Amino acid sequence: MAKVCEVTGKKPMAGHNVSHANNKTKRRFEINLQNKRFWIESQKRYVRMRVSAKGMRIIDKLGIEQVLANLAKTPAKKTA
């Protein structure tokens, strides 16, 4: 399963660990992904989503039904 937020599309970034001696080694900056259930009042059911902390704030602001409507409108990206 890819480490991608379903709401924002955020992915891990690449970067460096930098030591005191300024030696650089590769690292990944992971996003704060959470597996979360959201209640949809109109459908009387839960929806499971893998969302980042930022995605949860967006859902708090707009509401889960509005976010799901926006996701349905945007075309799915091709992979590979």
pLDDT at 33: 96
| 69 membership: H or E segment, kind and range | helix 64-73
Query: Please, which residues have CB within 8 angstroms of residue 80's CB and are 6 or more apart in sequence?
Result: none
pLDDT at 80: 52
> Rounded distance, CA 40 to CA 63, Å?
9
Mind listing the pLDDT tens digit for each residue in 4-61? 999 999 999 999 999 999 999 999 999 999 999 999 999 999 999 999 999 999 999 9
> Rounded distance, CA 53 to CA 57, Å?
6
The CATH architecture that domain 11-71 belongs to is Roll (2.30)
Q: What percent of the chain has pLDDT over 70?
A: 92
Q: Which residue from 33, 59, 63, 64 is spatially nearest to 47, judged by alpha carbons?
A: 64
| E strand spans, 1-80 | 13-18, 24-29, 33-40, 45-52
74 pLDDT band, cuts 50/70/90, is confident
Return the DSSP state at 74: S
